[in-house]
Amino acid sequence: MNILAIGCHPDDVEGCCGGTLAKFAKQGHQIFMGSIANGSVGHRVIPSDELKQIRLEEARAGAKIIGAQHFCIGADDLTVEASNMDLLKEVVEIVRWAKPDLVITHNPQDYMRDHEQTSELVTSAAFCATVHHLATKSLEYDRFVPVYYMETAAGVDFCPTDYVDISDTIDIKLAAATCHKSQLTWLKDHDDMDFLETLRMISRFRGNQCGVLYAEGFRHYSGWQRFATKRLLP
Ligand SMILES: [Zn+2]
């Protein structure tokens, strides 16, 4: 299968579903992962232009550890709007390029607006990619694709409908997250958060809920024709 995971910021996918993507990759599936925003404001000291380049390199390193092809649409942080037609078309082009069997993105309700707007953009793009007259570089995709919402920040207000056992890929998830060194500093400065410890804790918490050591939780988007007759998550 082709798996497409789109987060808002450069580290979101690793943090929220990196163990699942690594598990997919180990099973031989093709993984496409990346972000809509470039991470331009996530630091107190490094200027935005320099930070964008650093975060791009960190994200590429994280994707490499997971075994994924990486992309970044490059919108500035705090400007992600689902009503932006140009941005929607850029996400549509990513869907048409990746030809996914499964799309993963943020939960519609999360801790910040950029994440929530990303959720709406990606869910919408997974439909709009099938529309011929919405022209992008690639031709329209030939089918609707199921969408899964990944864990919210620290698991707040998120009750999974599906779990993935990541006990054998938790180390890959944490190694990929460790690539985001500028973000580890920012989250400590801005949120007093130890990012890696938080990821391990949430994964252990979800694992406890489903009877394994470490897990990631997901919610299935229940729109028309967005269902499959077999389990898609690994
Ligand atoms: Zn984020």
* Domain boundaries of the chain, sorted by first residue: 2-220
Using the mean position of ligand 1's atoms as its centre, give its distance from the Cα of residue 9 in Å: 4
pLDDT at 203: 98
Using the mean position of ligand 1's atoms as its centre, give its distance from the Cα of residue 142 in Å: 30
Using the mean position of ligand 1's atoms as its centre, give its distance from the Cα of residue 230 in Å: 30
Tell me the pLDDT tens digit for each residue of 28-77: 999 999 999 999 998 888 999 999 999 999 999 999 999 999 999 999 99
Q: Can you give the length of the chain in residues?
A: 234
Tell me the pLDDT tens digit for each residue of 64-110: 999 999 999 999 999 999 999 999 999 999 999 999 999 999 999 99
Residue-averaged pLDDT of the chain: 96
pLDDT at 83: 97
pLDDT at 193: 86
Strands 2-7 and 30-37: parallel
Tell me the pLDDT tens digit for each residue of 155-212: 999 999 999 999 999 999 999 999 999 999 888 888 888 999 999 999 999 999 999 9
CATH number for the domain whose boundaries are 2-220: 3.40.50.10320
For tokens 């054998």, what's the residue? 168
Using the mean position of ligand 1's atoms as its centre, give its distance from the Cα of residue 186 in Å: 12
Using the mean position of ligand 1's atoms as its centre, give its distance from the Cα of residue 77 in Å: 9
Using the mean position of ligand 1's atoms as its centre, give its distance from the Cα of residue 1 in Å: 26
Token pair for residue 23? Answer: 């598990």
For tokens 């801790």, what's the residue? 111
pLDDT at 186: 87
Please give the helix or strand (H or E) that residue 220 lies within, else none.
Answer: strand 215-220
Using the mean position of ligand 1's atoms as its centre, give its distance from the Cα of residue 35 in Å: 9
Using the mean position of ligand 1's atoms as its centre, give its distance from the Cα of residue 73 in Å: 14
Distance of CA 80 to the CA centre of its chain: 15
Asked whether residue 232 carries a pLDDT value surpassing 90, the answer given is yes
Alpha-carbon distance of 179 to 167, in angstroms, equals 20
Q: How many CA atoms lie within 13 A of 118 on its CB side?
A: 34
Alpha-carbon distance of 54 to 42, in angstroms, equals 11
Alpha-carbon distance of 95 to 5, in angstroms, equals 10
